[in-house]
Amino acid sequence: MAVLYPVIGKWFSRPNGTLFEVVAVDEDGGTVEMQQFDGTLDEVDMESWPDLLLVEASAPEDWSGSVDMDPEDYVGRHNDEMPAGFHDPLEFLDNI
């Protein structure tokens, strides 16, 4: 099996089915930071990366797994409407 290199923004699956995205690669420190679908952050050193037996995966269709906002949190607010940009994470970024 070919070794998959950690690339920021790529999604991988572990043998147990855990899905995660590479969110940072620190070449000087020799670490890879990963974020699981549920938002959990994890870090592994570059030397251990090949031992993870990873399979490249597609990004999940439902990106909201790592977001701490649920539609139920907004029930009864703003005339029962979702806030602008709730379904578009880029709407929450500050405009410069």
pLDDT digits (tens, 9 = 90+) for 34-81: 998 888 899 999 999 998 889 999 888 775 555 555 555 545 544 555
What is the C-alpha separation between 4 and 47, in angstroms, rounded?
13
pLDDT digits (tens, 9 = 90+) for 19-28: 999 999 999 9
Domains in the chain: boundaries: 11-58+69-92
User: Which long-range contacts does 13-21 make (Cβ < 8 Å, 24+ apart)?
Assistant: 13/54, 13/55, 13/56, 13/57, 14/52, 14/53, 14/54, 15/53, 19/57, 19/60, 21/59
Say if pTM beats, i.e. exceeds, 0.95: no
What is the C-alpha separation between 68 and 49, in angstroms, rounded?
28
